[in-house]
Amino acid sequence: MMAAMTDEMTPAEHAAQIDAARQRLLEFTARCTGADWRAAPVDGDPRPVGVIIDHVAHAYEYLARWIGEVAAGHAVEVSPAIVDEFNAQHAAGAGSVTQADVAGHIRTSGDALIALVAGLDAGQLDAAEGRVRRLAAIAARHADDHRSDIEAALTATAS
């Protein structure tokens, strides 16, 4: 599935990892039925599938903002509380997202993130003690983690 991410990966390799995970998410999105899209099958997560997938596209936006700021040498506050707040705000406003809208959002926000990461130099990846590198790795894992969780939950509910 996803190759191991190491400290030796180049910006282009990180960008390729993000793009590959995004493509898997887009392919999954296209396979969702209407019932899948509206279901909330993931234990402990009340969000419908469509909102979870759009959340990944939304996360690409804030991850890109953080990566750009850290790569430029700016201090950025990132914490679980900040991420939780972003996620709650997104979920409150994304209740009726369509598959077409979400696919477009994934493409647009993913394109911007991928271009940003691919355009970094090795020194920027290592900015703030490797924080940019870690954020790029999170961006790739995030899409796959949510997709895998949703697929497993949908399979379990279909059984």
139: confidence class by pLDDT, cuts 50, 70, 90: very high
- From CA 159, how far away is CA 149, in angstroms rounded? 16
Residue 24 has pLDDT above 90, yes or no: yes
83: confidence class by pLDDT, cuts 50, 70, 90: very high
Mapping DSSP onto H, E and C, the string for the chain reads: CCCCCCCCCCHHHHHHHHHHHHHHHHHHHHHCCHHHHHCCCCCCCCCCHHHHHHHHHHHHHHHHHHHHHHHCCCCCCCCHHHHHHHHHHHHHHCCCCCHHHHHHHHHHHHHHHHHHHHCCCHHHHCHHHHHHHHHHHHHHHHHHHHHHHHHHHHHHHHC
What digits encode the pLDDT tens for the residues 4-23? 445 689 999 999 999 999 99
pLDDT for the residue 2: 42
146: confidence class by pLDDT, cuts 50, 70, 90: very high
pLDDT for the residue 94: 84
Q: Which domains does the chain have, with CATH numbers?
A: 11-158 (1.20.120.450)
158: confidence class by pLDDT, cuts 50, 70, 90: confident
Residue 117 has pLDDT above 60, yes or no: yes
Residue 3 has pLDDT above 70, yes or no: no
Pair 125, 133: CB distance under 8 Å: yes
Instruction: State the average pLDDT over residues 43-56.
Output: 95
